Each structure stands twice: as C-alpha cells, then as structure tokens.
Copies of this chain bind each other. A is one copy, B any other.
Amino acid sequence: MAELQLREAIRAALVEEMDRDEDIFLMGEEVAEYNGAYKVSEGMCDRYGDRRVIDTPISECGFAGLGLGAAMDGLRPVIEFMTWNFAFVAFDQIINNAAKIRYMSGGQFSFPIVFRGPNGAAGQLAATHNTSVESIYSCFPGLKVISISNPDDAKGLLKSAIRDNDPVVFLESEFMYGMRGEVSDADDYIIPIGKARIAREGDAVTIIGHNKSYWRAMEAAEMLTSDGYEAEVIDPRTIRPFDWDTVITSVKKTNRCVIVDESNPFASLSSEIAFQIQSRSFDDLDAPVQRVTSKDTPAPYAKNLVEYYLPSAEDVYRACREVMYLD
C-alpha cells in the first residue's frame, strides 16, 4: 500500500490506463502545459505529448462534444472540466448527446468516455462555483455517475470508469485533492462500478455519505461512539447505478437512516434514497429517514455564511440522535 494524495491517485489511474491503451487521451483546460489547474495531470503532457494530453480553449460545449464524437468513433476520451460548475455550458452535450445517442441509434454507437473534475463546495467562491451536480446528472438514464471520497476509491473507480463502455460522470473534489490515503498497489487495481462500501459497521443508525459528505458521516459516527452507539457508515461511491441492496440491508438492521449530501435538498440524491428506503423497507423503519444537506439557498461568499451553509459533522450527529430518539 502506498500513501498517495487524492490527486496522485487519480493521476495514477490515468497513467496506468493510458499506458495500457493507446486510445485513451486526456483533454481539458490547462491539463497539459500548465499541468492541471489542480495539478491532477502534473507531468502527463511530458509523458504522453500533446497528441494525448491536450489543452483546450475555454469552450466546454465544444470540447465535451469533441470528446463525444471521438468516443463515438472508438476512442476513449477523458475530458476534464476544471470544475463541474463550468460544465453547465456543456449541459446539452452531456444530456442530449452522451446520455441519449446510443439509445437513438439502436445501440450502434457507444460512448466510452469519462467526464471528470471537482464537484461541490470549494470554499469562498460564491454561488456559481459551488454547485453539487450528482443529483442532476443521475436523473438521466444513459449516464453513470461516480463520486469518490478517498484516494483508494479514486484509483480503483477511475480505472473502471475509463474501461467502461458507457459515459461516466466522475466527481472529485477541490478540497480533497491534497488529502492523503492508502492506495492498494495490487496489479491493475479495479473497483467495480455500482458497489457501495460499508466503511464502518454498526447497528444504531445507517449514515450514508459520499465525497466530502462521507467524512462528515465518519466524524458523526465517531461522536456517536463516544455516546456509546455504533453507526454504520456507507459510502455509495456510485450514484448511478445506486447500490440499493447494501443500503437496504443496512437499514433493515439499524432501522433508521441519515443521509449526508452537500447538494441543495430539493429533488436530490437524498430524496431518492429516502424514497427507496421507505419503498423497500417500510416496515423496518423506526423513524423517518433524515437528511443533512446544504441550505436551500445559493452558496454565499462570506466565511461565516459558508460554514453555516454546508452540512457539518455536528448537524449529522444531531440528526442521528434525532432518528435514534435520543433527544
């Protein structure tokens, strides 16, 4: 096991895959000469040259579409969005082309493409630079959506995403790029898409959290341990397809569930999880499913407001105690 930063784990996945398969290329703003806005692709242009690591103008719609065209003809593009906020100008390409053309062509053309970049809160950048997009892309059949919380998952899942023959939305985090963690050095380490990870076992409550929210879930679980309760923490890792079995099995054991998600609340992933839980384990629930999300407002700039805006471990802890009827 090597200890890597999240950005290094992502890079390791890219490099292993690009070494293996000549059809893979990386494209995006500042990925080549600048070595990546967040240094994910550091050194990759040197290694592969500008044929395979390609800087673009600020034309997200154009280069997302270019990637899709290349994928339609058999290449395997990895398209980096500097952040997912900037992909809204390419939204039509992802929704109407990536997700739907395979279907409309009766399965003739497929899209072995990965769109990746940091998602969600990134500090005091205000409303346009802090959107969480997992729920929005997961709405659309035709896409797969992955959101990672640590270097090991990042490596194993990005390798899977790159090999997958369907379009994958791969969500990282500015805040976590520098985070270190053990990464398997198994040969060709692959984590299958669609499998959640039980990060911690327990029977008192099920807490579900992905990406940064996973860490809030873990912190809350620690706090509950001090109170004498063991929470089960699940990192879904893949948002679409979602691993319902793992979640439902857990809820059948704990009989209560708290979801942590940095998204705005309305019609989000947490809503869907609540729907599924009440639908699949109605009689097992001892309390309503609760969620801890960002506030139902745009993200502010001021530091104190940003802290208030985002889900905190405290919030999660309180929600757990609430569904456990402790307060």
Interface residues of A (CB under 8 A from B): 61, 85, 88-89, 91-92, 95-96, 99-100, 103-104, 126-128, 131, 135-136, 138-142, 240, 263-264, 266-272, 274-275, 278-279, 282, 285, 287-291, 296-298, 300-301
Q: Are A141 and B296 in contact (CB under 8 A)?
A: yes
Pairwise interchain contact B127-A103, C-beta atoms closer than 8 A: yes
| 23 A–B contacts from the bound complex (CB under 8 Å) | A88-B96, A89-B92, A96-B127, A104-B127, A104-B298, A104-B301, A136-B139, A138-B266, A138-B267, A139-B263, A139-B264, A140-B264, A141-B264, A141-B266, A141-B297, A141-B298, A267-B268, A267-B272, A268-B272, A271-B275, A274-B278, A275-B275, A278-B289
A288-B282 in contact given A266-B240, A267-B135, A271-B275 (Cβ < 8 Å):
yes
Apart from A88-B92, A96-B127, A141-B266, what 20 extra A-B contacts exist at CB < 8 Å? A96-B128, A100-B127, A100-B298, A104-B126, A135-B139, A136-B136, A138-B266, A139-B263, A139-B264, A139-B266, A142-B298, A240-B266, A267-B268, A267-B269, A267-B272, A271-B272, A275-B291, A278-B288, A279-B289, A282-B285
Q: Assess whether A128 is in contact with B100, with CB atoms less than 8 Å apart.
A: yes
Report the nearest B residue to A270, measured CB to CB.
B275
Shortest distance from the beta carbon of A294 to any chain B beta carbon, whole Å? 10
A181 to chain B minimum Cβ distance, whole angstroms, is 28
What is the chain B residue whose CB lies nearest that of A132? Answer: B139
B269 touches A300 (CB 8 A): no
Residues of the B chain whose Cβ atoms lie less than 8 Å from the Cβ of A271: 267, 271-272, 274-275
Distance, CA A141 to CA B297, complexed state (A): 5
Given contacts A139-B135, A268-B267, contact A288 B298 (CB under 8 A): no
A268 to B267, CA, bound (A): 5
- List B contacts of A103 (CB < 8 A): 127, 297-298, 300
Residues in chain B near residue A272, CB distance under 8 A: 266-268, 271
